[in-house]
Structure 1
Amino acid sequence: MRRAFRMIRVLGVRWALFRLRYALKTRCGFFEKKLPMRTWSDLTEKEIFDPETFSGTLEKDYAEWKRKNARSFLFRAADFRDWRPLLERWGASAATEEIENLKVGRVLYFENGYATCGFPPRWRENAVSGESTPAGTHWSGLSDFGFGDIKFIWEPSRFGFVFPLIRVYARTRDDGCARIFWTLFEDWCRENPPETGVNWKCGQEISLRLMAWSFAFYAFLESPETTPERLALFARAVFESARRVRANVDYALSQKNNHGVSECVGLICAGTLFPEFRGSEERLSCGVRNLERQIRELVYPDGGFSQHSLNYHRVMMQDLTFALRIAEVNGVELPEILRERLLLAAAYARDFVFGNDGDTPCWGANDGAHVFRLSECGYRDFRPHLQCVGVGFSRERFFPPGPWDEEALWFFGKAALDAVGEKRAAARDRFSATVAGTHVLRRGGNAVFFRCGCFAHRPGDDDLLHVDIWRDGECVVGDTGSFSYNSKTPFIAEHNVVSADDEPQMERLSRFLKAPIRGTLLRADARGFSGEHDGYRRLRVPVRHRRDVEVEEASVSIRDELSSSAEHVYETHWVFPKFRVERSEVCDGLEFFLLNGEKTAGRLRIRADGAEFLGFSVHKGDEKSGRGFVSPHYGERLPAQVLSVRFRAAAAHIRTDFVFPA
């Protein structure tokens, strides 16, 4: 009961009443009555179409009518010929490999590895655990957590494979790509009748699927594989998907995160591109109205996003870019704040591109979402979408020309790339986002990320005062990542922080909710950062923790001051995603070599004044505890060193120095 009251205090009485009402509606069968299970043939022309727009029959007339009256999209298939020199220069080997695997029943999961799912995939099966969901159950009667990690069921149904298919099609005009799409689309509809089963459960999943379908529709519209019968089924599927999202969008909006944003964009997609459907105008209006409200609240004036995650930050940006662009090409006016906040969000994310390969700190929830996979670049490369926003909306590049330009080509065309030329906007050496609670400093070969601030929205990880250190474009110490939201495989998420008495910074209230604590930024300047948090004020004998970070051209020094009126066990944690440490035997105190492969890349020294040294441990791939792993991709678990050093004291002054060759 205490925990329930704490949740209400964090999320508000209005949220609690909404969730209670939602639970009662679900239990009483409200959604089964409002959105009943049925067959695709039950959806008739009378139900789907506005007769003032289209009054013919689906099977006989719709295909010809739609080809003549299709709304504008980001591209036309006729553009592909002009694009070919660029596309050939950038290549599509990864896309081709994915298609070849798809044809033999191997589906790419979270842009990291393949799982054997069959061709067509077994849409309702968890490819990791082997568990299957019921075929004939209404989506509202299924649990999110009853079949292993549900994301492994949903991933193929996002239709992410559309993007390698259209990328190869644009280069080759091979109708085999269209055939694969339509074969999988027809099978998906056969195995997932309206409102039936797990793949109708989440409005965000449906919205992302709608966006992928729209790319396929416009890319393959003139292919002989796009038959009248297939377009009739396509119309039914898009109509029912939009209807399902609209009917339950309030649930997504109540979460105040990427779910609401994606579902609003799904409504804008369907409402803009398919105005012939009944209710399209209202769905478009609902999407625009609520998207403005969400973006105004969730994207901060400093460019940060409410979910405290760079991966979800990119999802939000891709959603916004898609909505703005399809509205623009169809003359639909969207509120200017959407463009303004997108540009702020892009500038914010650009400053986190620390890696030579476009990588960023693995900060926050990292669920593998990548809405538009429109280049050869990998999941962790943020350059494609940031370049797209820069070219399309800022009229300048964020990065030099390269294969990461391809996403901008799909969204804005060759003329937009030609117009910007070599004009570039440089990343800032120092940036402090005080509302988002993130701070970046570049100096010499060092790039440092410091996490400190209050929570305007519900917190994510126990990572206040966390530090990421990158040297010459490579991560020295970083975050472990997420691995899975619901897995029996052990994985301990760790951050570069100091813990007290083995307690996390925040009290966990539910699977995805923690009680917020307060972080106070004391300093952010050209030399470093200072901050403190009150997370350990809840202990029986409270602890105060302050951290100072000093960044020089060839070193980074961290000073942790912990104070209390009684003794505690303090443990400092350092996660090495790619580097490793090796104890130096020729020095006094605690000193390690920093190794990058077999090369010595620097030294790590840890000292504590006024504290009893209790020892240190290096975990790597510990299957029993789940410590010593990192997860750069969702569902991926790689052994990596995690160094922990323990001290006992009431007041301790811990100094940690990372020293690199000048």
Structure 2
Amino acid sequence: MQVISQLRIIKRLGWRNCAAVAAHRVALRTGLYVRQLPLMPCPIPERLNGQPHPAPFSADGWSATSLNGCLAAADALLAGTATWFSHESHAVGSPPEWFFDPASGQRFTDGSQHWSCCRPFAGADIKRCWELSRWAWAPLLIRAWRLSGDHRYRDGFNSWCLSWCQANPVNGGSNWVCGQEASMRLLHALQAWQLADAPAQLPDPRPQRAAFVAAHLQRIAATERYAQAQDNNHWISEAAALFIGGSWLEASASAHASEAQRWASEGRRALERSVARLVMADGSFAQHSLTYHRLLLDTLAQVELCRRWLDLPGFSQRFRERCRAATHWFAALVDPCSGDGPNLGSNDGVFVYQLHSQPYRDFRPTLQLASVLFAGQRALEPGPWDEPLHWFELISSSAEGLDASSPQAPKAPSLKPSQAVELFADGGYGLLRPTSRTWALLRLPNYRFRPAHADPLHLDLWHEGVNLLRDGGSYAYNSDAADLAYFPGIASHNSVQFDGAEPMPRLGRFLWGDWLQLVDPPLVESGKACSSITAAYRSPHGRHKRQVQVDPSGLGWIITDHCSSFRHRLLLRWRLCPADWQLLTEGATAQLFSSRAQISLETNFPIQRLEVVEGWESLLYAQKTTLPVLEIEVAASSSPALIITNIALPVPP
């Protein structure tokens, strides 16, 4: 059975992609990359000197809070305290030791060995090595320099750059293993130089800067086909780096101009192809994840900004349409009250190209920037999420019609889709939004690309900025077997599990087999009395049909689960927000109360087990916390099982 699943998955992944991955592994084992990409000293970019150009906004109102947040983060770096994954701080020195993981005490492969000899998943989580080597600290320190005028931040930037380049020879060690990591580092370096060289829109083309960029582009280009075979953010990130870095080198008339033209052209072609394939017509992304969708938009924003600054030809109409659609999808899934959103799919803590001080789970800065660039208008009223617009000088750019003080400026719309029921059928999402402050997301198993999580018919419910019914997240990519099974599995989702089995066979750390599909197209109903979405799927272990219905007030929800074809038992889970929950049971009915909601349950068979147990969730990478999970277990019978869940929400004050 496993062999058959593997053959099916090879076909779904694509024979050419599988061949590219195989070729990459052969190149690793035969030493091809060692010969193609030899070790060499890393070019050290020229030191920054002089006075900074003033920040593009005054430090009052929200700007004062943003300034304080930026300076506090920069001061921590200079004091030798670095933060991993937006939450985990360690004293590491300034500059840090680039190959040491303070959390585990382990060391990663240093620059004395070629990157192709590294084993990224042996030992500690390789992401702990990569986090600081993405260079997100570079634009942070330059922002602090321009906001304060304090040369300590400029000197700290110079010191960290020098230290990293001396410790990381080109193609040497763990920090050159991944083309996407090299891409992020390159774009952060360019971003920092651009901020430092303001008011010029482009970084000054100094020789060592150009050599640093060229070294990264050579590394990225060497494994471009492998990145494409991933069918995910790697392909887009590396294409963006080739386009941006190559275009900058070409415009700079540097010693690398001939190669630069090739890199820029290949980057443009790869961007057109990757966006056309991975961003679906309805705006869904190949990776079913809000955090990876943010990375997609932030990366494409860097591409569009570079294109404008260099006055390069526009991308195709299809490319522009997909960027707009991806922005609309993002707007639909960002909670208007909190700026947070569903904890869907993979979440590896990626938080790059962020010129603001908002927390990791606030998606509004990306939404605002993407809306301005790809839709020509703000999605939100002015606020701290506008800081990137100031740094990129988009707010005062009358040529783009974005000056908020101008009579011609478009009025900021509210973050509210026009439809009470909205389907993103290509990606597999159904939204019910009866009011602007209460909404739900139903995951529809329509897996066109490899799913990271087994989450068929998972339901997320939001009310007044609180995620009442929630997804478990990812936790970590290199953890123990129990965590690797739990977080991507059905147990960390608000859905039904049949006979204790996963709905799809697990074929690897990041791979499920026999991808699920809907039995029929989802049924959508929208009327004055109620709105609803109904969908069903079938797996080898059972059939599940779910209807989610809501009244016009958004305060009354009914979830009806029809389950059949399972052999022994079904288990329905409702993963709840932490609150003062109290459970009362009587026969085939039960009620759960808290200040957040009142939940009642009915079944057509006796409930074998009903209890609130302790589960896990991970809102930030490498961090997990407990939460209450309501579990309802029903035994198999000759007729289908029916479970009705009624949720009554409190009236807002």
Q: Which amino acid aligns with 1:658?
A: I
Question: Are 2:431 and 1:427 equivalent residues in the alignment?
Answer: no
2:375 is aligned with what amino acid? S
| Counterpart pick for 1:252 among 227, 243, 254 | 227
Question: Which of 115, 134, 139 is the equivalent residue of 2:90?
Answer: 115
Q: Matched residue of 1:640: which SS?
A: strand
Match of 2:538 among 530, 534, 537: 534
Whole-Å separation in 2 of the counterparts to 1:488 and 1:332: 48
Counterpart position of 1:652: 641
Q: C-alpha offsets along residues 606-651 of structure 1, whole Å, 9 cap, x if unaligned? A: 2210x3422123332xxxxxxx121111111112112211110232
In structure 2, what is the Cα distance between the partners aligned to 1:293 and 1:580?
50
Tell me the distance in 2 between the aligned counterparts of 1:302 and 1:183. 46
Which sits farther off after the overlay, 515-524 or 81-90? Answer: 81-90
**Deviation at 1:425?**
5.2
Instruction: Tell me how far apart the structure 2 counterparts of residues 36 and 528 of structure 1 sit (CA, whole Å).
Output: 59
Instruction: Give 3-state SS (helix, strand or coil) of 1:271's partner.
Output: helix
- Counterpart secondary structure, 1:532: strand
Verify: 1:630 aligned to 2:617, yes or no. yes
2:15 counterpart residue number: 13
The answer for the alignment partner of 1:370 in structure 2 is 351
Alignment partner of 1:546 is 2:545: yes
**Hey, what's the Cα distance between the residues in 2 that align with 1:586 and 1:643?**
16
1:202-601 correspondence to structure 2 within 5 Å: 202-221=178-197, 233-275=208-250, 276=254, 277-278=256-257, 279-336=259-316, 337-354=318-335, 356-415=337-396, 416-418=402-404, 419=406, 420=409, 422-424=411-413, 426-428=415-417, 429-444=420-435, 445-488=437-480, 490-491=482-483, 492-493=486-487, 494-515=492-513, 516-519=515-518, 520-526=520-526, 527-535=531-539, 538-539=540-541, 543-552=542-551, 553=553, 554-564=555-565, 567-579=567-579, 581-584=581-584, 589-594=589-594, 600-601=595-596
Task: Tell me the TM-score normalised to structure 1 length.
Answer: 0.87
Structure 1 CA distance for aligned equivalents of residues 286 and 499 of structure 2: 30
Distance 1:270 1:160 in 2: 17
SS in 1 for 2:476: coil
1:98 Cα shift?
1.4
Give the secondary structure class of the aligned counterpart of 2:569.
Answer: strand
Distance across 2 between alignment mates of 1:365 and 1:222: 36
Partner of 2:116: 140
Distance 2:457 2:207 in 1: 55
The question of 1:154 aligning with 2:130 is answered: yes
* Separation of aligned partners in 1, 2:367 and 2:97: 35
Residue 635 of structure 1 aligns with an amino acid whose one-letter code is: A
Q: 1:131 aligns with which of 106, 121, 125?
A: 106
Q: Is residue 557–residue 658 contact of structure 1 (8 Å, CA) maintained in 2? A: yes
* Equivalent residues, number: 611
Which has the larger displacement, 649-658 or 117-126?
117-126
Distance in 2 (CA, whole Å) between partners of 1:302 and 1:421 is 24
| Partner Cα distance (1:78, 1:178) in 2 | 12
| SS of residue paired to 1:414 | coil
In 2, the alpha carbon distance for the partners of 1:606 and 1:502 equals: 21
Segments of 5+ residues of structure 2 without an aligned counterpart are 397-401
* Deviation at residue 497 of structure 1 after TM alignment: 0.3
Partner residue in 2 for 1:100: 75
Once the two structures are TM-superposed, the CA of residue 373 in structure 1 deviates from its matched residue by 1.8
CA distances 1:411-454 after superposition (whole Å, capped 9, x unpaired): 34331342536432542143211101111111145211011142
Asked whether the 8 Å contact 1:439–1:524 carries over to 2, the reply is no
Q: Is the 8 A contact 1:63 1:231 kept in 2?
A: no
User: Which one of the candidate residues 603, 608, 623 is aligned to 2:603?
Assistant: 608
Contact 1:397 1:425 in 2 (8 A): no
Does the aligned pair in 2 maintain the 1:84–1:170 contact within 8 Å? no
Residues in 2 aligned to 1:222 and 1:661: alpha-carbon distance in whole angstroms: 51
Deviation at 1:655, TM superposition (A): 0.9
Aligned ranges for residues 69-84 of structure 1 at < 5 Å? 78=53, 80=55
Other structure's SS at 1:584 match = strand
Aligned partners of 1:362 and 1:480 also within 8 Å: yes
Residues 1:96 and 1:103: Cα distance change in structure 2 (over 3 Å): same
CA contact (8 A) 1:391 1:417 kept: no
- Alignment check: 8 A CA contact 2:20 2:225 kept: no
Amino acid at match of 2:621: Y
Q: Distance between the aligned counterparts of 1:198 and 1:291, measured in 2?
A: 26
Aligned-pair CA distance for 1:265: 0.6
- Counterpart Cα distance in 2 of 1:430 and 1:108: 40
Cα contact 1:392–1:408 (8 A) shared by 2? no
Q: Assess, with a 3 A threshold, how the Cα gap between structure 1 residues 92 and 78 changes in structure 2: closer, same or farther.
A: closer
CA apart distance, 1:659? 1.1
Go from structure 1 to structure 2 and tell me whether the alpha carbon gap of 1:588 and 1:306 turns closer, same or farther (over 3 Å shift).
closer
Could you tell me whether the CA contact under 8 Å between 2:139 and 2:189 is conserved in 1?
A: no
State the identity %.
27
Distance 2:341 2:34 in 1: 43
Q: Distance in 2 between matches of 1:549 and 1:222?
A: 52
The answer as to whether partners of 2:113 and 2:173 remain within 8 angstroms in 1 is yes
Structure 1 range deviating more: 393-402 or 7-16: 7-16
1:618–1:81 CA distance, 2 compared to 1 (3 A): closer
Superposed CA deviations along residues 156-175 of structure 1, whole A, max 9, x for unmatched, are 10111223323222222222
Preserved contact between residue 469 and residue 477 of structure 1 (Cα < 8 Å): yes
Q: Is the 8 A contact 2:59 2:67 kept in 1?
A: no
The 8 Å contact of residues 126 and 150 in structure 1, kept in 2 or not, is answered as: no
What is aligned with 1:51?
none
Aligned twin of 2:174: 198
Structure 1 residue 81: Cα displacement:
5.3
Distance 1:617 1:18, change over 3 A: same
Give runs of aligned pairs for residues 27-66 of structure 1, distance below 5 A: 27-40=29-42
- Alignment-mate amino acid for residue 239 of structure 1: A
Q: 1:570 Cα shift?
A: 0.3
**Whole-Å Cα distance in 2 between the matches of residues 90 and 417 of structure 1?**
23
Tell whether the 8 Å contact from 1:434 to 1:453 is kept in structure 2 after alignment: no
- 1:187 partnered with 2:163: yes
**C-alpha distance in 1, partners of 2:337/2:587?**
34
**Quick check: 1:439–1:449 contact (8 Å CA) kept in 2?**
yes
1:71 corresponds to: none
Partner-residue secondary structure (3-state), 2:243: helix
Alignment-mate amino acid for residue 468 of structure 1: D
